[in-house]
């Protein structure tokens, strides 16, 4: 698959490496070149400085030929805008969006984006850990 990843944070960088290992063609974007330090030197994918909400960057990243787009930048709104663009303007078949705010994540899932909210998982994990540690008090 040809995958464009928006955001080279820990999740973006880790995902990029995993996907290239699996033989996928990866382009990773970040507005800050410094973020690419998180990638291992042997990372074989393409690094591109720019915003995933910017059409020029998306086109440079090969969005028109991409099979998948995943938005993992730090801002929910930017991730949503870029994802809607990938889906509606560039016709990318698989678009996945990280939305930290669980309510916004739910809303945009309802509106047709494939969203996930790590916050929600975090809350569940924290809750489970707490209840387990408290031993049913």
Partner 1 sequence: MYIIVVGGGIVGYGLAIELQQVADTEVTIVELSASRATQLRDELGEMVVHGDGSEIAFLEKVGARRADMVIAVTADDGANLVACQVAKHWFGVARTVARVNDPRNEALFLKLGITSTVSAAGAVMAQIETSLPQHTLVPLMALQSAGLKVVDMRVQDGAAVAGHSLRDLKFPTGVLIAVVVGPNGARVPDGDTVLAPGDELIAVIPHEAEQQVRAMVTVGDGM
The verdict on 11 binding partner 1 (CB under 8 A) reads no
Which residue from 2, 101, 118, 119 is in contact with partner 1, where contact means CB under 8 A? 101
Q: Answer positive or negative: Cα dihedral of 77, 98, 66, 25.
A: positive
Residues 112 and 107: their CA atoms lie apart, in Å, by 9
Nearest distance from residue 121's CB to partner 1, in Å?
Answer: 19
Q: Across-strand partners of 46?
A: 27
Nearest distance from residue 55's CB to partner 1, in Å?
Answer: 5
Q: Binding string to partner 1 for residues 26 to 55, with x set by CB under 8 A, is what?
A: ---------------------------xxx
Q: Smallest Cα–Cα separation from 72: which of 41, 40, 35?
A: 35
Site size for partner 1 (CB under 8 A): 22
Q: Map the footprint of partner 1 across residues 53-82, applying CB under 8 A.
A: 53-55, 75-82
Residues 79 and 81: their CA atoms lie apart, in Å, by 6
Q: What number of CA atoms fall less than 13 Å from residue 98's CA on the CB side?
A: 17
Q: Which is nearer to partner 1, 20 or 79 (CB)?
A: 79
């Amino acid at each position: 698959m040809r995958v464009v990843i928006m955001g080279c944070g820990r999740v973006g960088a880790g995902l990029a490496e995993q996907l290239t290992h699996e033989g996928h063609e990866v382009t990773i974007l970040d507005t800050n070149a410094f973020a690419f330090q998180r990638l291992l030197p042997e990372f074989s994918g393409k690094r591109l400085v720019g915003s995933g909400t910017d059409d020029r960057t998306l086109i440079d990243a090969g969005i028109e030929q991409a099979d998948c787009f995943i938005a993992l930048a730090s801002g929910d709104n930017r991730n949503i805008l870029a994802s809607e663009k990938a889906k509606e303007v560039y016709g990318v078949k698989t678009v996945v969006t990280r939305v930290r705010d669980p309510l916004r994540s739910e809303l945009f899932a309802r509106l047709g984006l494939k969203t996930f909210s790590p916050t929600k998982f975090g809350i569940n994990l924290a809750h489970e850990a707490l209840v387990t540690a408290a031993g049913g008090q």
